[in-house]
Amino acid sequence: MEHGLAELLHELEEFGTSHDAATDDRSRKMLNITHDTGAFLALLIKATKARNLLEIGTSNGYSTLWLADAVGKSGSVTTVEQAPHKREMAERNFQRSGLSPRIHQIEDEAGSFLSTCDTGAYDFIFLDSDRGQYADWWPSLQRILADGHLLVVDNAVSHAHQMEDFNRLVAASDGYLSSLSPIGKGELVILKEGA
């Protein structure tokens, strides 16, 4: 990772922590992933040589920058966010990072966007959004994730109770292998096994 990007990520970590501590309005919080989660995602992306990434839940773009750096110059990240103020912050951070050519921002409701994606369109999906919707999104997520690739879900330990329905669906789905990693706020790593 280049020094300038590492400095920007450190700045965003400090901003996220202080900003979130100063507001009780959940819709205004950044709710960023932890630094070690960013490193874990980068490791998974590089190890699997993923090139077409999807992120559901951009916030201010902190996690997106980890993904965009990891995917390299030949890859791309599509990131979906509804909140206009967060999309604007993210866009500024993408410009500052120099990684914006690899990042495609989508303004949409995630479920609506997922329904429009091609089968097998993505070889890595990072889910960090409205946990109450994950179970409804599962059929679309299954369809658009390429065989032999990973879906990673944040907050799988910190908000485990909100993911119970989703976890049951994953466990009941043939052809998927999952493991819960205690990194950060808990990362559920789901492999769509190849045919």
pLDDT tens sequence for the chain (195 residues): 787 888 877 887 776 677 667 778 776 766 778 899 999 999 999 999 999 999 999 988 999 999 999 999 999 999 999 988 889 998 999 999 999 999 999 999 999 999 999 999 999 999 999 999 999 999 999 999 999 999 999 999 999 999 999 999 999 999 999 999 999 999 999 999 976
Closest CA to 33 of 46, 20, 52, 45: 20
Q: Is the pTM of this model over 0.95?
A: no
Helix (H) / strand (E) containing 69 = helix 62-71
Q: Domains of the chain by range and CATH?
A: 33-192 (3.40.50.150)
Asked whether the beta carbons of 65 and 36 are under 8 A apart, the reply is no
CB 52 within 8 A of CB 72: no
